[in-house]
Structures are given as C-alpha cells and as structure tokens.
Amino acid sequence: MRPHRKFGVYHSPASQTFIVEYASAEVSAANNDVRTFSADARVSQRFIFSSAVNAQITMFL
C-alpha cells in the first residue's frame, strides 16, 4: 500500500462516477483498489478506479 493525497467525494449522478477528494487513502499498486477514510475515520468506502481521468472513479459496493 502506498499513501494517497487528501481528498473528499463528489458524485456525478448522470455518469454514476465519483470524483474523490478525501482525508486519506491507501492505494494498492497491484489492482488500483482504493480504500478511503473520512476525516473522522468513522466512515470508510471502497472504490476502484475507472478508466476516466482526473480521479473520476466508479464506486464498488
């Protein structure tokens, strides 16, 4: 795992993508799986990168 920059999440309902800008994250270099954590660390969401540029991602539930 390698550290990722601060970010939070913005959802685009039309494209069903998320722009991430959250407090912290860990990125697995092997599969680009990202686990993000809110600033208070109570809420975590799991994301996987889409092919879109500029941190647009598809949410993996």
Per-residue pLDDT of the chain (61 residues; tens, 9 = 90+): 444 444 555 555 555 555 554 444 454 444 445 554 444 333 344 444 444 433 444 444 3
Q: How many CB atoms lie within 10 A of CB 46?
A: 11
Asked if 21 contacts 6 with a C-beta cutoff of 8 angstroms, the reply is yes
What CA–CA distances, in Å, run from 35 to 1, 14?
Answer: 10, 24
- Looking at residue 20, its pLDDT comes to 53
Domain that holds residue 41: 2-59
- Which of 15-29 are b and which e, b meaning 16 or more Cβ less than 10 Å from the residue's Cβ? eebbebebeebebee
Q: How many CB atoms lie within 10 A of CB 5?
A: 10
What is the tally of structural domains in the chain? 1
- Looking at residue 12, its pLDDT comes to 54
